[in-house]
């Protein structure tokens, strides 16, 4: 098993990429801490992981709150004895996110609170735990828009993911000699509830699809497979990477006039 003896904490673990990653992690031998604000979905995810034969626990946490972030790491260590994989995956894309003129300040602030502060707090409390374990892997969910921007305006989201990308690179450089790897996982457009709520018209969906060489949206499970690689010893010489899993969009993207 590729993650035998590993303990993983996954924020946003109750749905989408997080849930698919939790499932593949337990199949590969990891013990998993599922973190979310949706308690019903979180408990449902943990029940599914246990049905798969895995060891898992659910923790309610708003990742933008320091006390919650500290507690989720505390629970991981108290329950499973250590933390070796930290997947800062929780994020939002607000339906009212738009361009600079039309995006309200509260939308901007909420997006940054979850998408950026949440990753920072996860690392703030998670890195000492990884040190105590002798090292490990941090995976931060960024996005292809951190590289390219987006044709459909979503300025707060795009800016927040740019921040996650730059944060990941700096943390990778700082902690490389501590046996702590930090990588930014950058999905392309996925067929998840998060994106489909934003691309809520056929025109919006086609505007995104036209730029994807593969001609389709990705699946959450495909990103989970990439997270597995970054979590495992197979990526032992990979840190500070912009790990794109995007159907080719970054090699073909052009913004329409």
Residues 10, 21 contacting (CB under 8 angstroms): yes
Residues 18, 10 contacting (CB under 8 angstroms): yes
Residues 19, 13 contacting (CB under 8 angstroms): yes
**Residue tagged active-site, from 120, 125, 157, 253:** 157
Strand partners, 185: 141, 243
Query: Which class for 90: exposed (0-12), middle (13-18), buried (19 or more C-beta within 10 A)?
Result: buried
66-74 own/partner pairs: CB under 8 Å, 24+ apart:
66/121, 66/124, 66/125, 69/118, 69/121, 69/122, 69/124, 69/125, 70/121, 70/125, 72/9, 72/11, 72/33, 72/35, 72/125, 73/9, 73/125, 73/126, 73/129
* Spatial separation of the C-alpha atoms in residues 134 and 122, rounded to whole Å: 18
* Spatial separation of the C-alpha atoms in residues 184 and 168, rounded to whole Å: 6
Q: Is 253 a catalytic residue?
A: no
Closest CA to 82 of 131, 27, 13: 131
For residue 35, give the 3-state DSSP assignment: strand
Residue positions annotated with a catalytic role:
157
């Amino acid at each position: 098993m590729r993650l035998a003896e590993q303990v993983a904490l996954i924020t946003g673990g109750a749905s989408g990429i997080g849930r698919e990653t939790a499932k593949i992690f337990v199949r590969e031998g990891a013990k998993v801490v599922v973190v979310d604000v949706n308690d019903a979905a979180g408990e449902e995810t943990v029940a599914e992981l246990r049905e798969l034969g895995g060891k898992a626990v659910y923790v309610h946490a708003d990742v933008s709150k320091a006390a919650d972030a500290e507690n989720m790491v505390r629970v991981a260590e108290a329950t499973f004895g250590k933390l070796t994989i930290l997947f800062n995956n929780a994020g939002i894309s607000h339906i009212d996110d738009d361009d600079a003129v039309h995006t309200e300040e509260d939308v901007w602030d909420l997006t940054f609170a979850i998408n950026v502060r949440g990753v920072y707090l996860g690392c703030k409390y998670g890195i000492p735990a990884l040190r105590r374990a002798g090292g490990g892997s941090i995976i931060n969910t960024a996005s292809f828009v951190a590289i390219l921007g987006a044709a459909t305006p979503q300025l707060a989201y795009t800016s927040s993911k740019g921040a996650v990308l730059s944060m990941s690179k700096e943390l990778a450089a700082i902690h490389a000699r501590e046996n702590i790897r930090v990588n930014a996982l950058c999905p392309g457009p996925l067929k998840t509830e998060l994106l489909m709520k934003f691309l809520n018209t056929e025109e919006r969906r086609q505007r995104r699809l036209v730029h994807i060489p593969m001609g389709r949206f990705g699946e959450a499970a495909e990103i989970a497979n990439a997270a597995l690689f970054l979590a495992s010893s197979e990526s032992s010489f990979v840190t500070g990477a912009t790990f794109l899993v995007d159907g080719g969009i970054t090699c073909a993207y052009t913004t329409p006039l």
